[in-house]
Amino acid sequence: MSESAPNPTAVVGRRKPAQGVSRRDFQQPKRLGPARLAELALALKNLMPSLEKRLVENAGLKLTCKLGGLSEVDADSIFAGIGEPLCVLRWRSQGAPGWLVWESAAAVGVVESLLGAKGATSAARRLSPTETRVVAHLLTEVARTLGGVLGVPLADFALVQTTSELGSWRETGKDGAEPEAHRLAVKLEVAHGESKSTLVLCFPGCGGKSQGATLALPGTLPEHLEHVEVELRATLEGCELSLQQLLALETGDVIPLEARLGDPTSLSVEGLTLAQARLGSHRGRLAVRIEHLNVHADHAA
């Protein structure tokens, strides 16, 4: 029996890509996986209140901080199209360079406010030596705090304002480690008064394994803590109302929520998300069933 000739149109003539094949942008490396990225994002989100407190205590600056995103990037793409003057904090982690990038105009506005300037235009410009020290201290506090949660040791901080001072991921560093372009990019949305800006921190050495050690909970609490009460919150899905419906609400009205039994929810204490759960019922009352605990050592800080 002779073999039939292959049909060239089976591949060549296909107009649409095969099901399940997606485009891949190799400027966006993928090493960590969705579960690991979600774990890191949760730890960083929970860190924001602590970061704000440290900035007040150690830098004298009241900033509102919010995690804006987490992604993997190629180091060559970080500074593509960026212009001088820069406001970039450079550091080294186990010989590899990392960076914190801040818009120059935003940095100028914040440092002028800290130094008591009035009527500032907050335009991008080079920082003076005094301003450089102030901004470097502020950004170093941010980088160290986030690096601690990610398990990445940081050293050799320097604030740079020109591209020639940025350094390259191709540098092997003093430990002679093989250089690699992979970086974990953490985007922070910060607000100082009415001014809003974005910080982007690019960390080397963030592998796929979990960096944070799970906190071993004590079998018994110290006696003086046994009767301390904390508020446990379960977040339910909300609903959407038109402005007209909202203004028409009266006492006794019933608002149906989108949440249903079996839907996922999160449990939090003091603003920290500590568990993932699902809605259910127990003896006729609405209840939640814990499916995963997110208690880590950094939450106790």
Q: From 30, 74, 66, select the one nearest 48 (Cα to Cα).
A: 66
Instruction: Tell me what the pLDDT averaged over the chain comes to.
Output: 80
Q: How far apart are the first and last CA of the chain?
A: 75
Instruction: Kindly state whether residue 82 falls inside one of the protein's structural domains.
Output: yes
Cβ neighbours of residue 121 under 8 Å, at least 6 residues apart?
none
5 falls within a domain: no
What's the rounded mean pLDDT across residues 170-198?
82
Position 191 pLDDT exceeds 80: yes
In-domain check, residue 14: no
Proportion of the chain above pLDDT 90, given as a percent? 29
Determine the 3-state secondary structure of 93 from DSSP.
strand
Do 242 and 171 fall within a single domain?
A: no
Q: What share of the chain is helix, strand, coil (3-state, %, to 5)?
A: 25, 25, 45
Residue 195 belongs to some domain of the structure: yes
Q: Per the confidence metrics, is the pTM higher than 0.85? A: no
Does residue 250 register a pLDDT over 80?
yes
Please give the distance of CA 148 from its chain centroid, rounded to a whole number. Answer: 13
**Is 198 in a helix, a strand, or coil?**
strand
For residue 98, is it within any domain? yes
Q: Note whether 198 and 65 are same-domain residues.
A: yes
In this structure, the answer to whether residues 64 and 198 fall within a common structural domain is yes
In this structure, what token pair is assigned to residue 1? 């029996």
Mean local confidence (pLDDT), 272-286: 83
Together in a domain, 237 and 190: no
Domain co-membership, 157 together with 241: no
Residues 6+ away with beta carbon under 8 Å from 149: 43, 44, 47, 212, 298
Does residue 139 surpass a pLDDT of 90? yes
> What's the CATH number where 180 sits?
3.40.1550.10
Which is nearest to 261 in space by CA: 278, 282, 277? Answer: 278
pLDDT score recorded for residue 120: 57
44 and 141 part of one domain: yes
CA distance 269 to 165: 44
Q: What is the DSSP annotation of 224-289?
A: GGTT----EEEE-------HHHHHT--TT-----S--TT-EEEEEETTEEEEEEEEEEETTEEEEE
* Position 4 in a domain: no
The CA angle 19-21-24, to the nearest 5 degrees, is: 160
Q: Does any domain span residue 20?
A: no
Please determine, for residue 10, whether its predicted confidence score (pLDDT) is greater than 80: no
Residue 189 placed within a domain = yes
pLDDT over threshold 90, residue 26: no
At residue 225, the pLDDT reads 75
CATH number for the domain including 293?
2.30.330
The domain containing residue 50 runs over which residues? 33-203
Domain count, the chain: 2
Q: Using DSSP bridges, classify how beta strands 232-235 and 182-192 pair: parallel, antiparallel or unpaired.
A: unpaired
Q: What is the Cα–Cα distance from 43 to 298, expressed in whole angstroms?
A: 8
Task: Report DSSP state, residue 213.
Answer: P
Alpha helices in 115-160, H assignment, sequence order: 129-150
